[in-house]
Chains A and B, each alone.
Chain A
Amino acid sequence: MKKLIYLLIFIPSLLIAQQGKVIEGTVIDAALQMPIVGASVYVSSAIIGNETNTEGVIQGSMLGTTTDFDGAFSLRVGADAKFILVSYMGYETEKIDISAVTKKLSVVLKESPENLQEIVLTGYQKIEKRKMTSAYAKVEMTDINQAGVSSVDQMLVGQLSGVVVQPTSGAPGAPSKISIRGTATLNGSSDPLWVLDGIPLEGNDIPQDFRDKDNIDNLQSYPIAGLNPEDIESITVLKDASATSIYGARAANGVIVITSKNGKKGAMRINVNANVFVTQKPDFSKLNLMNSSEKVDFELLLASRSDLKYQQDRGGVARILNNYGEYNNFRDNGFTSISLDAQNEINNLKNINTNWGDELYQMAINQQYGVSISGGNENNNYYFSTGIFDEKGATKGTGQKRYNITLKDNFNVNDKLKVGVALFGSQNTTSSYITGADAYTNPSFYSRNANPYLSLKDADGNYVYDPDLVERSDLNLDYNVLEERENTNYELVASSLKAIFDVGYKLNKEIHFNTQLGLQLDFDKTEKYSDEESYYTRKYEQRSQYTSSGETLYYMPKGGIIQNWNADGFQYNWKTTANYNTSFNTIHELDVMLGTEFRRNKRTEIHTKGFGFNSNTLTTTAITNELALTNSLFDAYGKTYNENAYASFFGTASYTYDKKYTVFGSLRYDGSNLFGVNPKYRYLPIWSFAGSWNVYKEDFMYDVDAISDLKIRASYGVQGNIDKSTSPFVIGEYYTTSVLPGVSEEIIRALSAPNGNLRWEKTVSSNIGLDLGLLNNKIYISGDYYARKSTDLIGLRSVPLESGYNFINTNWATVSNKGFELSISTTNIDTPHFKWTSGFNISHNKSIVDAIENREEDFKPSLKGYSVNAIFAIKTAGLDSNGLPLFWKDGVKVSAVDFYNLEEGTDGSQLTREEHRDLYTYVGDGTPKFSGGFRNSFKYKQFDLRVLTNFNIKQTVKTTPSYNPALAQPGNSYNTDILKAGTGSYPALIGLTSPGFDTDLVYTWFNSSDDGKTYNDLDIWVKDISYIRVSSIKLSYAIPKSKLEKFSLSSFNFNIEGRNLFVLGTDYNGFFDPETYGSLYAQPIPKIVSVGFNLSF
């Protein structure tokens, strides 16, 4: 082991030189400013003497001395000696130039960072940093902690190189999508594995397409949602194969290891913190919507044009004109020719300006509190904490409330046996609004479409229903956003308990055993309630419509609808390792670990629905109509049960030679329950090997002053995954059915097509890295280059229908990811009163789909040769004289008719799918070219200022078109782009009879025939964005210790913090945030100002 034992055998009499000089001085500890006793002071070891097998131990004749009890030394050196070295165990060796020394030296030694024994916790092992061969990134919670943030994923944005964290929505409790080194799958989850103190956490995957209107409003319980950031000590992200392979198949997307706080030796320490944070109302004007005056004028414009007939009777203006029977009169003769009453009524519309920003969004005052008690002694340490987090979202009706309790205790039963217990309990309630099946009622979406002149309540306080939110031209189910908020409710209460038991037994110095049992219990209760008087209920009722003897009836009983989803999750994870750590002949170090892991999880979900719900009696009414039996929307009860088991065997071995060279290898066999899966895939081998070279330890580095650390790392590994849903056998699922009346039978329905040829997905990764410390590690640089190739990725492929199936799972794609990561941390200024430190990281990932099987029926081009998130668009070439869009085809400007090959007398384009795909051009990568962050901390006396920023550079994004020229209608509100229609690159509004060549064909195409939705893919809706977001500015003040002593306080800090205050970069007009650019459904990312204090005693 690393034991720097300086045995300085000094025989002065032999070495007294005839000539020379005497160097005198003292050696002082940099931190304590105390003399160091017994430090070695010598001329270079390279000159005289024989090095022993142990580093730093010098034998034999050697010129040098040690310091006395006052830290003083006196050394006679030769006249030609230019330098002396001063070293002490655990401190960095100093090299002093003595050529011009005349007076007494004062040598300051600093603790060596290496000797601080920096340990990397992988969840399985504690590895000394010097022996690390793999790529990882680590961040201390104190550096990134932010007030008003419920979950740690949001704090990681821009903090770790190679880890791209993208907020999905500003909703309270919304998850952030994390991708580590790009995407290794095209279909499966790309979420990393979260590990808490060694236990992999279970939870829902973040939906692949979070922008999807249904996913974005769906409340779910994610793995780390229940964890209080206050309980976290540090976060380590394992990135390359040699680091993650020990986690097996689940770690294909990287691993995030959370290390929670432990009690520290010393007296009991109580810490209290409290924050009040104010969530600002979002800047609604960012959406650039029309105001009432603009909207009314726009409707008048539409009504005045005889060619624009699409849904022409909608909107306030058309309703007034039709009421007065003046529509045609207005169109033919203009505004002044219609009756004065009609004119007045229309002008009055302009004066009603409903501010949807105020109706749907709010400023909210929120709170967060935490108390922790910790302490310990030689044999025991403890940590206890509790916290409350209570947030109301900027979107009305949303919120999150969490209670946490954490208990940890570690005992040393005796010299050999250690026991640790940890309990993490939480209850996390998230609430949101209900959206219907079509999400018109998503507030962000609705606020863009609702007319600015629409009142929400009439003079008597009754709800005014939106006359333009209609299901069909003859059906309006009466939507009012206030009524909907009042009468509906959507809430998820996630209760979670995680318990971890650790036992460590140290057989002797070299061998120890560890076993760890982790339990996770989750209870997720979701309730959706809608009162009888709500749009949601009215819409639901429509689904029960039937006719009986010419009468339209509904079989859904009158009353509210109550829907519950109760999920019950349980997992245990039991792993046992045997560790053998030894060193021999003092230059060989060997660390071997063998282990087993057994994991089992179960999840039961019960979904119930009740109709005719009375919120006073809490009773429901049964549906008696038999028609309901065939409509699953009205199933009263559903249950699902899932169970999975995993058994794994693994081992790692690491050998270090002379503290310079380390080789590492790991192998893991992952077995899981694979019902019906080809037995040869039951155990997946996952392996890696790696090596590192600690260049700094080489002799030739002693003289390179500027470099204080240098290490080169390389790794290679293979990971795999098998699709559990595919089997070489025909697997069936039980159902019941009734083919003929009166007989109900159990049936077995084939689950999916059998496929005996399916191979496992395989990812091969390699990594080369460099760690470099400069100027006593004042500058520390870590860089990594990696390449990952994922082959045989599994995806759905369409097959001939004659096979009996539409789609089957097959190995259909190969994806490569290449990239680099760079992180630099610097201490820019370090004086007793002022200190400035920075952390900067940047990463780049480029994915390429090397092979992919095309689907014949696809509208969009194949990704082959492009990035996973490649964006394809249709190249427009401006507008023609009538404002119709022109396109580039083979270098020539052509009309839509020629471009799409539109023909008279047919419904749409005559293009084959292949020709359709050829319309597209690659325009950019949806993944940012560079992303990263920049962190700066300033400390001046008692003040601390911390600024966190993150950036994305050159990301191609596609927005949702603000209007469609053939679907523009007076009933909707639009963003002001539509006022520019016909100018610049904005296509003019057209109808069937609008002027221009074959405009009717173009109209029909964009109005209804464009099955591939190419209008949304025009390049005018695509742009490259780059931005830097200032995610947090925090100023804190620590009351000087001297003033605290009389209150027996150890620290008392006040802080004020602003989160997400501003974004610099490309404009993102029309949307709240650059992160959610193009999403009509995302809630704004909240701007938060918080004030709080932190008190310890």
Chain B
Amino acid sequence: MKKIIYITFVALGFISCDNYLDIEPVGQVIPKSVEEYRSFLTSAYDIAKDYKVLTTFRTDELALSTSALGVEQYEDVFIWNDVNPSPLTRVFPYASLYNTIFYTNHVINSESTMEGTPSDIEQLVGEAYALRAMQYFELVNLYGKPYNKATAITDAGVPITTEYDAEKDYPVKTVEEVYTLILDDLDKAEALLNIEKQDLGYNYRFSTVAVKAFKSRVYLYQQEWQNAIDLANEALAINAELQNLNSNVSIMPSEYNAVESILALETIASFDMVNNTTISNSLITAYNQTDDLRFSLYFNKNTDGSFSSKKSAETKFKVSYRTAELYLTIAECLAELNNIDLAKETLIAFTENRYTSSGWDIYKTYVNALSLADLKEEIQEERRREFAIEGQRWNDLRRTTQPELTKEFDGVTYVLEQNDDRYVIPFPNDAIINNPNL
């Protein structure tokens, strides 16, 4: 009799037990709703995107002194010593990019199970596609050869993963395969996104205009000139605004809250860069210091006569795409398509916002007199001035002529030869150790 009572008691115990054990730990969640996935993707946006800081050390934009604090971390990057760098050398980011890809993959692969309004889900998944494309674009431009239509199908790029699996192999894919994935992702993103332009403060998130601007850049790197122009124009149809520095120098045009901002995601400068390096002479002399309104807006003059960047690690300086780039892309592509007059017109129209009116007059005359070859060079120079310390320079050098660079450090002259192999950064050691395929 008593046993029966007891058995009943045990049975009841089992039934109520699952409730008893259901504790959702404070602060933990398995994302299910689109709102939770939104917070999840924001984490991916929040992962440090500071790869451009280190590439800037490799360009001709900075000068480094042996007495600078923390110089050990940067000197080998600065002088392109990839073979035997000091153990203290800052390592180019690799894991953080793939960590971002992990997040985007999870969002993309959860589309069918996500709970919420379809438009919200589409926007979110579209952003994930675009963010993933961005990671692969940055990876392939750090660790792969610049896109070259002729050799891209054999040139080594980076490993590709579109789902989480710690057990599988990660072979290196070709540059062509990586670019195919990028464009594929961007097509999907374009189809899914339903926010044309993000509100201020949320403009780190992808929107239609950001995807178009990004796509325009991809085509530019692939030297698909007409496609690049088309996409730039599509983006400009959404946001064509330029900040005229003649009337407004309260902020830089690259700041997240400037009218030009399309996507403000990547960190482009660091504390050390601002405090412990100076701007190289070649970059300083690229400016007309009196007429180019950008000069005093971008740079600080130090007591010793050198200059430092005003763009810093502060989050307000985050930038990825802005309208200025679209205009310069159009000008460059037109020139490449031999449309010299329209190219000049585009360049001149853009620079009206950057020079004093008297300076602009001189500049106009100067540009109008340029040959096609000189015009192409001038457009690159204008890009260099416009995007100083914005992380564009390294990629611009790579995708164009890969020119010879020379640098002085500690009394020694270092040379990066034209088309030097070191225009491709070797995979970081910890990546190689964990992936024998690299």
Contact = CB atoms under 8 A, between A and B. Distances in A.
Contact of A801 (B29, B46, B94): B94
B101 interface: yes
Nearest to A749: B43
A134 B21 CA distance: 32
Contacts of A805: 99, 102, 166
B246 interface: no
Interface residues of B, number: 65
22 contacts: A507-B2, A682-B21, A731-B30, A732-B30, A734-B27, A735-B43, A740-B201, A740-B204, A741-B256, A743-B202, A750-B106, A753-B164, A798-B434, A799-B434, A800-B159, A801-B94, A803-B165, A803-B170, A804-B161, A805-B99, A806-B434, A856-B434
Interface string A728-745: 011111110111111101
B430 A801 contact: yes
A751 B434 contact: no
Contacts of B36: 732, 748
A649 interface: yes
A802 B201 contact: no
A631 B431 CA distance: 28
B315 to A, nearest CB: 5
Interface residues of A, number: 65
B350 interface: no
A643 B25 contact: yes
Nearest to A751: B28
Interface string B407-419: 0000000000000
Given A507-B2, A802-B98, A804-B99, A750 B204 contact: no
A740 B27 contact: no
Q: Across chains A and B, which 6 residue pairs bring their CB atoms closest together, nearest first? A: A804-B102, A743-B201, A800-B435, A673-B23, A802-B170, A799-B166
B366 interface: no
Interface in B230-287: 256, 264-265, 275
Given A596-B10, A740-B316, 20 more contacts: A578-B3, A641-B26, A645-B20, A674-B21, A675-B23, A675-B25, A737-B43, A739-B45, A740-B203, A746-B39, A750-B43, A800-B166, A801-B95, A803-B102, A804-B101, A804-B161, A856-B433, A856-B436, A907-B87, A1009-B87
Given A801-B435, A804-B99, A907-B86, A598 B166 contact: no
Interface string A888-920: 000000000000000000110000010000000
B84 to A, nearest CB: 6
Contacts, number: 185
Given A596-B10, A673-B21, A802 B43 contact: no
B434 A740 contact: no
A676 interface: yes
Contacts of B435: 800-802
A729 B28 CA distance: 12
Given A594-B6, A803-B165, A731 B315 contact: no
A731 B43 CA distance: 13
A673 B22 contact: yes
A78 interface: no
B7 to A, nearest CB: 9
Interface in A1038-1092: none
Contacts of A743: 201-202
Contacts of A907: 84, 86-87
B241 to A, nearest CB: 19
A637 to B, nearest CB: 15
A647 interface: yes
Contacts of A747: 39-40, 42-43, 46
Interface string B172-214: 0000000000000000000000000000111110000000000
Given A740-B204, A747-B42, A802 B159 contact: yes
Nearest to B255: A741
Interface in A844-895: 856-857
A90 interface: no
A649 B13 contact: yes
A856 B429 CA distance: 12
A755 B166 contact: yes
Interface string B93-129: 0110011011101100000000000000000000000
Contacts of B433: 798, 856-857, 913
Interface in B309-333: 314-316, 318
Given A511-B2, A747-B43, A802-B170, A730 B31 contact: yes
A967 interface: no
Nearest to B40: A748
A831 interface: no
Contact of A803 (B43, B86, B98, B315): B98
B150 interface: no
A647 B42 CA distance: 37
Given A647-B21, A741-B256, A748-B31, A732 B40 contact: yes
Given A734-B29, A743-B202, A856-B433, A596 B164 contact: no
Contacts of A749: 43
A487 interface: no
A804 B28 CA distance: 20
A547 interface: yes
A741 B103 CA distance: 23
Contacts of A616: none
Contacts of B40: 730, 732, 747-748, 750
A745 B431 contact: no
Contacts of A703: none
A221 B433 CA distance: 40
A58 to B, nearest CB: 38
A738 B159 CA distance: 31
A272 B20 CA distance: 46
A985 to B, nearest CB: 29
A645 B101 CA distance: 35
A746 B46 CA distance: 11
Interface in A794-848: 798-806, 808
A207 interface: no
A615 interface: no
A737 B202 CA distance: 12
A749 to B, nearest CB: 5
Centre residue among B43, B161, B275 by max chain A CB count within 10 A: B43
A741 B201 CA distance: 7
Contacts of B24: 675
Contacts of B105: 804
A744 to B, nearest CB: 10
A641 B20 CA distance: 18
Contact of B102 (A511, A644, A732, A750): A750
A748 to B, nearest CB: 4
A420 interface: no
A1011 B165 contact: no
A110 B226 CA distance: 109
Nearest to A576: B9
Contacts of A739: 42, 45-46, 204, 265, 315, 318
Contacts of A802: 98, 159, 161, 170, 431, 435
A698 B99 CA distance: 70
Contacts of B39: 732, 734, 745-748
A754 interface: yes
Contacts of A727: 30
A803 B318 CA distance: 27
A307 B99 CA distance: 48
Nearest to A912: B433
Nearest to A804: B102
Given A755-B166, A801-B98, A802-B159, A745 B42 contact: yes
Nearest to B427: A801
Nearest to A549: B300
Given A748-B29, A803-B98, A598 B20 contact: yes
Contact of A740 (B6, B14, B17, B315): B315
A344 interface: no
Contacts of B26: 641-643
